[in-house]
Amino acid sequence: MPDELIAIEPYRSEHREAIAAVLINVGWEQRYIDGQLLAVEQFAMDAKDAAVFVAHQGAVFAGYISVQFYLWNRLSQIHGLVVDPSTRRRGIATSLVAQAERFVRNRGARGIYVDTPVTNTGARAFYTRQQYQQDYIMTAYYDVDLDGVTYLKLFDRA
Ligand SMILES: CC(C)(COP(=O)(O)OP(=O)(O)OC[C@H]1O[C@@H](n2cnc3c(N)ncnc32)[C@H](O)[C@@H]1OP(=O)(O)O)[C@@H](O)C(=O)NCCC(=O)NCCS
Going from the Cα of 72 to the center of ligand 1, the distance in angstroms, rounded, reads 31
Contact (CB, 8 A) for 106 and 70: no
In single-letter form, the type of residue at position 81 comes to L
Contact (CB, 8 A) for 23 and 15: no
pLDDT class of 117 with cuts at 50, 70, 90: very high
SS3 88: coil
Domain boundaries, the chain: 1-109, 110-158
For residues 55-67, give the mean pLDDT.
97
Residue with CA at minimum distance from ligand 1 atom 23:
122
Contact (CB, 8 A) for 153 and 131: yes
CA distances from 54 to 6, 68, 72, 83 (A): 10, 15, 27, 10
- Burial bucket for residue 72 (CB in 10 Å: 0-12, 13-18, 19+): exposed
pLDDT tens sequence across 76-102: 999 999 999 999 999 999 999 999 999
Compute the mean pLDDT over every residue in the chain, rounded to the nearest whole number.
96
For residue 52, the cross-strand partners are 66
Edge-first strand listing for the sheet containing 146-154: 6-10, 50-57, 60-70, 75-83, 111-117, 146-154, 133-143
Contact (CB, 8 A) for 54 and 91: no
What percentage of the chain exceeds 70 in pLDDT?
98
What is the distance between the alpha carbons of residues 107 and 102, in angstroms, rounded to a whole number? Answer: 9
For residues 123-147, give the mean pLDDT.
97
* pLDDT tops 60 at residue 158: no
Going from the Cα of 46 to the center of ligand 1, the distance in angstroms, rounded, reads 27
Q: What pLDDT was estimated at residue 156? A: 82
> Which residues have C-beta atoms less than 6 Å from ligand 1?
26, 81-83, 88-94, 114, 116, 120, 122-123, 125-126, 129
pLDDT class of 157 with cuts at 50, 70, 90: low
Contact (CB, 8 A) for 97 and 130: yes
Q: What pLDDT was estimated at residue 37? A: 97
Going from the Cα of 91 to the center of ligand 1, the distance in angstroms, rounded, reads 8
CATH superfamily label, 1-109: Gcn5-related N-acetyltransferase (GNAT) (3.40.630.30)
